[in-house]
Structure 1
Amino acid sequence: MVFVQRWRVITAFALVGAATQLVWLTYAPVTTVAAEHFGVSESAIGWLANMFPLLYVLLAVPAGIALDRWFRPSLIAGAVLTAIGAALRLLDGGFAIVLIGQTVVAVAQPLVLNAITGIAGHYLDEKDRPTGIAVGTASTFAGMAAAFVLGAALPTESQLTTLTAVGAIFAAVAAVALTVELMRAGTGPSASTSTSVAALRATLGDRYVRRLCVAVFFPFGTFVALATYGQALLEPSGVSADAASIVLLVNVVAGVVGCAVLPVAVLRRGIELPAVMVGLTASAAACLLVALAPGLVTGALAFVLIGLTLLPALPIVLAMAERHTGAAEGTAAGLIWMTGNLGGLVVAGLTGLLVDRPALAFALCAATTILGVPLALRLRRPGATI
């Protein structure tokens, strides 16, 4: 019974994780329609999503500290704020109220995503934690995929309110489910007792954690860059917008599958570093392939390979952090997510400058991804000096 109850907590958390990403990307697949509906530019609609990584960089560490000190109430607050922000977008206030709603969810997101390692550490036995972390991570990519699917199913201006309502209802149901399950389960058998200051000092002073953060900077940035500019980069080779959307959706679906399956097998066999390095090398090769031979077939092959091999590196690194840091897993996860989002801003920014030269842009993504290999190699000796 206890085993079932703990996995109910993980399942409810996965729903909230998916909800944060679904709400984040609500308007991304229907940018043009949303811009016409609200009477603003497409760039303004873009900022409804772009604010999320920016606020994550600012709030990742404070959210991690809050989770280390007050895990259950902080996570509940993240779930509830996500539901509130999603619901606010349904009020009759035009673009301004939608912006406010998105901002509330962006503030809540670090409290949810930083808890991926913590929810496993608090409520699962050690042998089950890799599976819990994999499920939590996969749920975020599942939320992204759901946003693209819903955008394709409800693409018109008359359906925009329905599209927004679906996200709000899902977020509310997920928040209620997680709150109920957390209250039933209590604080969990492995609840942290560390103070926020002690957790922050210990984590910032940990060379191994710093190396984990550096190792995800460029690969995470590559994924963000390709997700942001994939359609524009494939268009010059004759790939239509609809076909590119399908390619990007399949990329995320492949990531969901990869995150749900590969990390568990890898962590149980103790081959984390080889798996990460193989994934980075394969993803760099995929980027290079589409740089040299752009087209629908090569693009689809490359993006599927990236989803299967690059995205699972995140739950593997998060599991390594949880295993290493113990009570400070929230702060460590916050630092890793913050560094990844910083990488996204940097690599996506550079890729955006090359959007009219897709071969160079894909080559840049290949180079930034392969940079992760020597950085990952530094994780072999956690006690070594930097």
Structure 2
Amino acid sequence: MRMAGVVTGSRWMAIAGYSLVGAATQLVWLNFAGVTTVAASRYGVSESAIGWLAQVFPLLYVVLAIPCGLILDRWFRAGLIAGALLTAVGAGVRLIGDDFGWLLAGQIIASVAQPLVLNAVTGITGRYLSPKDRPTGIAVGTASIFAGMVIAFLLSAVFTTAADLPIMLTVTAAFCVLAALFLLFALRNQGPFEVVRHGPVRGALRIAWGDSLIRRLCVLAIFPFGVFVAMSTFAQALLEPAGVSGGTASTILLVNVVAGVVGSAVIPILVVRRNAESALLVVSLTVTAAACTLLAFAPGVLVGFVAITLIGLLLLPALPIVLELVERRTGEAEGTAAGLIWMAGNLGGLVVAVVVGLLVDHPTAAFLVMAAIALIAVPGARALRRPIAELRAQSPL
């Protein structure tokens, strides 16, 4: 292997293009999260059917995470560009006909694209940023993914009626097309830190899964992902018996994700500089457990705002921290390793959401289950201190 060309400075335009496309994937995914009822009315289907427009994303991610990671490890730019274009195509397909079938077809196309985009967050930083800038790049790229969720919630707050839905879908498609075009322009040249590989990447999955630290990070990712997805899915239903209205619950969740965007953009950079990755993971999981316990025994508007905002602020930054460790640890298999992390997280989201969904009529028990899931992961986060210190000694920033 050799470095391609002359190594120059970091190319942040590539990160900007990636960030736009990352946000676009989440926008398509969650377009209907805030307008489930009116969408069901417009398209003549049940609310459960509208829910499947979002659920196909994590389901297909679990299936496609590893194959897409292997594609990125072999053909990075082509794979990422394909993900951007498929996201735009999926958003456009939803405009062909005003019925549920075209919506589902578009969602499936975009859900195939999502792992090609999200798995690439470590690869694009490794190829286009110098080592000292990579933690910042991963933080920005990951924060943009959460920012896409915020945009989805804001659009659903603006386009609230059944008659508004075609306009919302048109705005989304335009955003996706513009994001894809920007990324195409930003990736017109090979990254200055690109590693030229002669021949196929062999055994990328074996390399990634054979690393004990990657395996431990995959297991750890299940827990924060699981709690966040379950909280985002069922917070409104769990808080309703305490007198929290649907509108207030939606606002709480929006603030939660905004706090996560801010936290993901700032906290990982500070943590990496202070070599405090393990400590931050322990703190975020412990605070999450405490917040869920507080919600179990004292639910209400104020507690909901404070507790769920803290969860977003501290729990979501765990993802870029884990991904930064993956980027430092892996070389030619970084796409597959990132795919393993995302797959584990999505699997955790599905499992924990199912468990919490079964307890949706018992809010105290549901919140306590989420608290327990967060606490279970604390010893694993604490045990990462030594392998992270060894990794830091091997590959200092």
TM-score relative to the length of structure 1:
0.96
Correspondence for 2:190 among 173, 186, 189: 186
Q: Which stretches of structure 1, 4 residues or longer, exceed 2 Å deviation after superposition?
A: 1-4, 190-198, 377-383
Measure how far apart 1:379 and its partner are: 2.2
CA contact (8 A) 2:91 2:176 kept: yes
Amino acid paired to 2:288: S
Indicate yes or no: 2:33 matched with 1:48. Answer: no
**Partner Cα distance (1:52, 1:304) in 2:** 25
- Decide whether the 8 Å contact of 1:211 with 1:378 is kept in 2: no
> Counterpart amino acid of 1:189?
F
Match of 1:342 in 2: 347
Q: How does 1:56-135 map to 2 (within 5 A)?
A: 56-92=61-97, 94-135=99-140
From 142, 145, 152, the counterpart of 2:147:
142
Distance 1:147 1:26, change over 3 A: same
| Cα distance change, pair 129–350 in 1 and its aligned pair in 2 (3 A) | same
Match of 1:352 in 2: 357
Aligned equivalents of 2:242, 2:8: Cα separation in 1 = 55
**Cα distance in structure 2, aligned partners of 1:188 and 1:16:** 21
Please state if 1:277 is matched with 2:282: yes
Q: Measure how far apart 1:377 and its partner are.
A: 2.6
* 1:153 matched residue in structure 2: 158
Deviation (angstroms), 1:191:
3.1
CA-CA distance at 1:243 after TM superposition: 0.2
Aligned length: 381
1:254-284 deviations in Å (ceiling 9; x for gaps): 0000000000111122111011111111111
Q: Which runs of 5+ in 1 are unaligned?
A: none
1:201 aligns with 2:223: no
Aligned residues: CA RMSD: 1.4
Tell me, in whole angstroms, the C-alpha distance in 2 between the residues paired with 1:88 and 1:172: 12
Alpha-carbon offset, residue 151 of structure 1: 0.1
Does the aligned pair in 1 maintain the 2:146–2:261 contact within 8 Å? yes
Q: Percent identity?
A: 59
Following superposition, the deviation at residue 321 of structure 1 comes to 0.8
Task: For residues 161-181 of structure 1, give each alpha carbon's deviation from its aligned partner in whole angstroms, at most 9, with x where no partner exists.
Answer: 001111100000000000111
Q: Distance in 1 between matches of 2:340 and 2:352?
A: 18
SS in 2 for 1:91: coil
2:329 equivalent to 1:324: yes
User: Which residue is equivalent to 2:232?
Assistant: 227
* Inter-partner Cα distance in structure 2 for 1:82 and 1:164: 13
Q: Tell me, yes or no, if structure 1 residue 379 matches structure 2 residue 379.
A: no
Q: CA deviation at 1:328?
A: 1.3
Does residue 1:173 correspond to 2:178, yes or no?
A: yes
Alpha-carbon offset, residue 28 of structure 1: 1.1
* 1:186 partner amino acid: Q
Q: What letter is aligned with 2:307?
A: A
- Cα shift readout 1:182-226 (whole Å, capped 9, x = no counterpart): 01x324423363844321111121111000000111111000000
SS of alignment partner, residue 355 of structure 1: coil
- Please tell me whether the aligned partners of residues 68 and 195 of structure 1 are also in contact (alpha carbons under 8 angstroms): no
- After TM superposition, the score normalised by the length of structure 2 is 0.94
